[in-house]
Structure 1
Amino acid sequence: MASPEQDVAPEGPALDKDGVRLTVDDAIATVTLTNPARRNAQSPALWRALTEAGRQLPGSVRVVVLRAEGKSFSAGLDRQAFTPEGFDGEPSFIDLARGSDAELDATIAEYQEGFTWWRRSDIVSIAAVQGHAIGAGFQLALACDLRVVADDVQFAMRETSLGLVPDLTGTHPLVGLVGYARALEICATGRFVLAEEAVSTGLANVAVPVGELDDAVRDLAGAILAAPRDAVIETKALLRGAQSRDYEAQRVAERAAQARRLRDLAGVGE
């Protein structure tokens, strides 16, 4: 006889609002951009939904996959933001510019929160990117730890061309991945970076045909889940910290992390 738990239908999305859907399947969570008719253009409401998705992740989640419906990952910021009307119920960017320095800083900081949690030490995030990933879309892909791209991907950082700067946390990972000179050239020109260059420069881990994108991400997630969780967490922290430590400090960090792993495996201190 089936238990009551077995009779219960699978739960629906943990979150489904403002162009963002969060689903959880045991150790894997999937965040999907769900407005393909507008090429998943972004808005403050979408950024708040991304923040909420991060806050709702259960502790069982080890891998978070970021994907998008339709032919484009995200065409970037919805141009409606630059109109005097802005979005319904939201201050327009023009109104924001007329506010105080503190108000403007706080608003941008709130927007950034949707881009910051993807690099938490307890998860590994993978962006599955197809088609256009422009501006805020490019920065959202950069927010993740890893990027698997379709062979039709087109990255571009268009903020500078619009008289702005990339401010959704994309500059730090971009420089870390491709170096200062190439990052400056990509941002200042606003040109497209296609799949082959993305892989060769380190922007993407691998490029696959569009029809194989989901399978490639699934395989990568499975390979990550095959390793012990605590070892992945410690390794991720070591690698992230290496950017700010010198060689000797990194040696010290490696020793401390390994000591924790050895004691844990040996059951010492329990």
Structure 2
Amino acid sequence: MSLLDQDGVRVTVHDAVATVTLTNAARRNAQTPALWHALAETGRRLTGDVRVAVLRAEGVSFSAGLDRRALTPEGIEGQLSLFDLAGAPESERDATIASYQEAFTWWRRPDLVSIAAVQGHAIGAGFQLALACDLRVCAEDAQFAMRETSLGLVPDLGGTHPLVGLVGYARALEICATGRAVHAAEAERLGLANLVVPADQLSAATDDLTAALLAAERGALIETKALLRAATHQDYDTQRAAERAAQGRRLRELAGLD
């Protein structure tokens, strides 16, 4: 079933899997406010029947980051430029950036698992979009880079939290401050990539991971995801109590008592 096809984003849903594809290969899937609004709309349209969301991209690059036209006074026709945003009142700027962030937040929904299949460049906003997903399968030619500081900007699309969580503060600072490329092999060592495969196996490897996630009992997977996410900020005893409560719910459901 086709759910959406606009502004460089195509979304299809088959059984319990939503496939979100970036389709502007000619511009290396450079991101625009219109694309962010389409991705945010995707999150609003996905029903609770979806268990796995897979993010793919057409062409040689996953996403080369922000469309540089947005950094010019002329901007992109019909869309807000960063020059326009800079001149807006503070409350309007904040609300606008928050609306852009919506494109990056729903991938971490508690009721589904999201996978980014990354090939080629994932730069800036592209890096942050890959980080928005729970898991990342990468082709051997994948390259991540956070180039915002070289433009005088900061990563503002939700990427700083997962990046620090995955690689730690010092490494995250070094990656962001230098803007250097993190190639696939290093990404796997650092924990940015769950799996690295030859480029011609990226689709198959992503499909295999999707199938493995669908094979897990859904209630148990949802509870486990919630526990692991909570473990990043809860103390040991609080986490043990959360495990007990979650297991109690699972036992009752399996016994048909709920």
The match for 1:124 among 98, 107, 113 is 113
In terms of Rg, which structure is larger? 1
CA distance in 1, matches of 2:92, 2:138: 37
The match for 1:33 among 8, 22, 28 is 22
CA distance in 1, matches of 2:61, 2:8: 14
Runs of 4 or more above 4 Å deviation: none
Unaligned runs of 5+ in 2: none
Shift of 1:60: 1.6
**Alignment pair present for 1:96 and 2:88:** no
| Pairing 1:1-270 to 2, within 5 Å after superposition | 11=1, 13-269=2-258
SS, match of residue 14 in structure 1: strand
CA distance in 2, matches of 1:223, 1:238: 19
CA distance in 2, matches of 1:91, 1:130: 29
Unaligned runs of 5+ in 1: 1-10
Paired residue type of 1:246:
D
SS, match of residue 61 in structure 1: coil
Shift of 1:99: 1.2
CA distance in 2, matches of 1:213, 1:45: 28
CA distance in 2, matches of 1:214, 1:23: 16
CA distance in 2, matches of 1:257, 1:126: 24
CA distance in 2, matches of 1:223, 1:64: 13
CA distance in 2, matches of 1:59, 1:97: 38
The one-character-per-residue Cα deviations of 1:54-90 (angstroms, maximum 9, x if unpaired) are 1111322100000000000000000000111112222
SS, match of residue 147 in structure 1: strand
Q: TM-score, normalised by structure 2?
A: 0.99
Shift of 1:195: 0.8
RMSD (Å), alpha carbons: 0.7
Q: TM-score, normalised by structure 1?
A: 0.94
